Amino acid sequence: MEENQGVTSLTNHFIPFTEAEIGAKGRFESDFMARYIADLDFSPEAQAVLNEGRKLFIRFHATQFPRKIREELKLGRPDAGWYQVRRALEAYGDTELTDFDPFKSAYAALSDKLRPMVYELGFLPR
């Protein structure tokens, strides 16, 4: 992996949103995931996770992060991943503008729904 001044050369193929949806200031190198999920029907719980995640990505792209955060988390590209988005917003520490609780609640509700299905679908033996 080649790195230079807070930029990494890895392509993120797993952003579930388009640049326009989240106000990205640049183009993503890959739109695979956004295209893949575009025509899927999600349960209300899964849609809630996407909706809350979208809000956090929007907040991320609207924030001017200090140089230390940008360099530490390699934020030199518009297609930052969920780890970078979450860590950058947490490090920035603006709790009035960034509330993770709705996302955590939506994620917990989806987890609760899916947990029993792990056995029903045969991913784990009972």
Q: What is the pLDDT along the chain (126 residues), one digit of tens a residue?
A: 444 555 567 899 999 999 999 999 999 999 999 999 999 999 999 999 999 999 999 999 999 999 999 999 999 999 999 999 999 999 999 999 999 999 999 999 999 999 989 988 888 888
DSSP 116: T
- At 59-84, the pLDDT tens digits run 999 999 999 999 999 999 999 999 99
**Cα gap 69→55, rounded to integer Å:** 20
Residue 43, phi then psi, degrees to nearest 5 = -65, 160
Work out the number of other CB atoms within 10 angstroms of the CB of residue 49: 20
- Are the C-beta atoms of 110 and 48 separated by less than 8 Å? yes
